[in-house]
Amino acid sequence: IQPIMKKIKLILAVMAVLFTSVSCLEKEVLKDSHLYGKWVVTEVSYYEYENDKLSFSETTYASTNFNWYFQFTNDGKGQFVRIEEGVPYITEIKSWVLLDDSLVIRYEDDESETYKISYLNRSDLQMSESEAYTEDGIHYQEVYSLTLRKL
């Protein structure tokens, strides 16, 4: 019976190490350092809900006529660049910060956006921003979802 107990203890120890490793990896996913660099927007999706029912959706993919990217620097600043029809539009990022599962960006005009991060690793990022309002008794929610790839 003693060899069986040793095997059970060994299995439990291995499982504890695995669970600890997995939980550390999950906590590590949202690190500032993962954001440093240039991120190209590969897809923008827009969803509109009326009284919690999807009423409209549209997805746009990056192309030669539509090219957006974010540049995040390790000093908490950066740029948001839109290149549309060959014309670049550059907006300076005064500051950015990761808070729990959100990315808060403050731009040069002191406007800010808060994106909920669905997924972030060293090469892929998916985040969304939403706004809800009521008009004529109808509850609307607009959601913009961005999928990005690190260059």
Per-residue pLDDT of the chain (151 residues; tens, 9 = 90+): 555 555 555 555 555 544 544 444 444 446 777 889 999 999 999 999 999 999 999 998 887 667 899 999 999 999 999 988 888 899 999 999 998 899 999 999 999 999 999 999 889 999 999 999 999 999 999 999 999 999 9
* 3-state class (DSSP) for residue 110: coil
| 50 vs 40: CA distance, rounded Å | 31
Whether the CB-CB separation of 33 and 72 falls below 8 Å is answered with: no
Beta 87-99 vs 78-84: how paired, if at all?
antiparallel
Q: What predicted TM-score, i.e. pTM, was given to this entire model?
A: 0.73
Instruction: Pull the structure tokens for residue 58.
Output: 């549209």
